[in-house]
Amino acid sequence: MVTALEGIKVLDLSRLAPGPFASMLLADFGADVTLVEAVPGASAKLAGGPRNAESAQRTAAYNALGRGKKSIALNLKDEAARQVFYDMVRGADVVLEGFRPGVVKRLGVEYATLSQINPRVICCSLSGFGQTGPYSNLVGHDINYISVGGALGVTGWPGQPPAIPVNLVADFAGGGLMAAFAICVAILAREKTGRGQNVDIAMSDGVMALMTSAFSGFFNNGQPIRPGEYLLNGAAPFYGVYQCSDGRWFSLGSIEAHFFDALCGVLGLEQYRNRQYDQASWPEQKEAIARVMRTKTADGWMALMSQHDICAAPVLEMENVPLDPHNVARGMVVEIDSPVGKVKQVGVGPKLSETPGSVRGTAPLIGQHTDEILAALGYDSARIAALRESGAVG
């Protein structure tokens, strides 16, 4: 079966989650991704991984972000290792890195250098605040990027601290997903121009881009979104979560009038059918809905509401998400072979009819394919041994 990115060679220098997630997305759709990892022991900052073979194999087996990839260990501070990397770049399509601005230049693997070796190469830099701007050299994590990008400031409830989400918005959506999208766009552009280019992904930019619709409203009417005071972040009684008789939570999203009408009918709250946007009555409506929702279990409400064209779903606890029949039917839980036996991973999100993605294997151990990759570059066994002895590769 043909894969969408078959023949695209990606060299991934990134370490933290956003970069590996981007290259995982590319690998799932057929790209040949090689992790260019640090030689074990070469950097104190990267110490602390599994200390024995069994735990390392298990960690790799469940590391979905590394799936379907190969691994070579290079000490890029070593001139011989850099030459190996340059040889790899000659046949590469994409180089992805997630270092702080300036690091790749110090290592001699920035776009200006690599494009001289291969004018068709696409270099993608993925960082918190990007390569330019007053924050570019600041350190940070997801919580900081969603702060600057605007997402954290609209979450939570009035008078309370912002609600901190799991690191999905900046790291994975604003960072990794944006990077994978931009790389694919750059590959398409190369078909027109014949040249690669440099891609600058800032996670803070990505977060703000995800808030395009929210800011469109603000730019139009000048009304900022405040925590818990906007229709889509907790203010409206028909768009929120309610506790059920079993203590579980249930989500309602009946924004449109016909969905709200159906909701009122099922809940026995017909008196509110013509008062959906009567904001003065929203507190009263919330109390009424909460009172009725506590009369059934979450599964009981789902069984009932799913029969009446209502925007509703139970809030699945993490342990129940992989068991949900819809998620299973959609292939969002896959079981694959690994050196430690069969393991479960999250499946491929986008469903393409002609060139579908797939999980092609578990993550490699660090440097697992070093010899194989060097041999493919034309290095003989003596040269490979010398590189290992010097610590240039691992």
Q: What is the DSSP string of 226-265?
A: -TT-SGGGTTSTTEEEEE-TTS-EEEEE--SHHHHHHHHH
Q: What single-letter amino acid sits at 254?
A: S
- Please give the backbone phi and psi of residue 251, each rounded to the nearest 5 degrees, phi first: -100, 140
SS3 343: strand
97 exposure class (CB count in 10 Å sphere: 0-12, 13-18, 19+): buried
Claim to verify: residue 201 and residue 54 sit in the same structural domain:
yes
Question: What local confidence, expressed as pLDDT, does residue 196 receive?
Answer: 98
Domain assignment present for residue 222? The answer is: no
Q: What ranges in the chain are assigned the alpha helix state H?
A: 18-28, 53-62, 79-90, 103-107, 111-117, 142-149, 178-193, 203-210, 212-221, 257-267, 282-293, 298-305, 325-329, 370-376, 381-390
Could you tell me if residue 94 is inside a domain?
Answer: yes
Look at the block and give the residue holding tokens 């699945």: 316
Active-site option among 141, 299, 308, 337: 141
Asked if the model's pLDDT at residue 287 lies above 70, the reply is: yes
Active site residue 171: yes
In a domain? residue 219: no
Residues 69 and 51 in one domain: yes
The residue from 325, 349, 379 where one domain ends is 325
318 and 270 housed in the same domain: yes
Number of domains in the chain: 2
Domain assignment present for 1: no
Residues 170-224 pLDDT 10s? 999 999 999 999 999 999 999 999 999 999 999 999 999 999 999 999 999 999 9
Q: What tokens does 387 get?
A: 């590189």
Give the range of the structural domain holding residue 71, as residue numbers without chain letter. Answer: 9-210+330-390
**Domain stop point among 273, 293, 325:** 325
116 and 144 fall within a common domain: yes
pLDDT in tens, 32-65: 999 999 999 876 555 445 567 889 999 999 999 9
Kindly report the CATH number assigned to the domain that includes residue 101. Answer: 3.40.50.10540
Asked whether residue 14 is domain-assigned, the answer is yes
Q: From the candidates 142, 171, 205, 369, which is the catalytic residue?
A: 171
Same domain, 298 and 150: no
Q: Judge if 98 and 44 occupy the same domain.
A: yes
Mean pLDDT score of the chain, rounded to an integer?
Answer: 96
| Domain final residue, candidates 308, 325, 342 | 325
Are both 381 and 236 inside the same structural domain? no
321 and 240 belong to one structural domain = yes
382 and 282 belong to one structural domain: no
Tell me the pLDDT tens digit for each residue of 81-101: 999 999 999 999 999 999 999
Taking Cα atoms as reference points, which of 82, 69, 70 lies closest to residue 114? 82
Give SS3 for 323: helix
Same domain? For 282 and 354 the reply is no
CA distance 118 to 90: 5
Instruction: DSSP letter for 360, please.
Output: -
Q: What is the CATH number of the domain that holds 306?
A: 3.30.1540.10
Does one domain contain both 268 and 196?
A: no
Determine the average pLDDT of the residues in 90-114. 98
Q: Give yes or no: residues 161 and 279 share one domain.
A: no
pLDDT value of position 43: 63
**166 inside domain:** yes
Residue 2 within a domain? no
Q: Cβ(175)–Cβ(207) under 8 Å? A: no
Do residues 37 and 72 make contact, with C-beta atoms less than 8 angstroms apart? Answer: yes
Task: State yes or no: is 141 an active-site residue.
Answer: yes
Per-residue pLDDT reduced to its tens digit, 331-382: 999 999 999 999 999 999 999 999 999 999 999 999 999 999 999 999 999 9
Angle (nearest 5°) at CA 252 between 249 and 257: 165
Please give the torsion angle defined by the CA atoms of residues 302, 304, 308 and 313, in that order, rounded to the nearest 10 degrees: -10
In a domain, 310, yes or no: yes
Tell me the C-alpha distance between 113 and 1, whole Å: 36
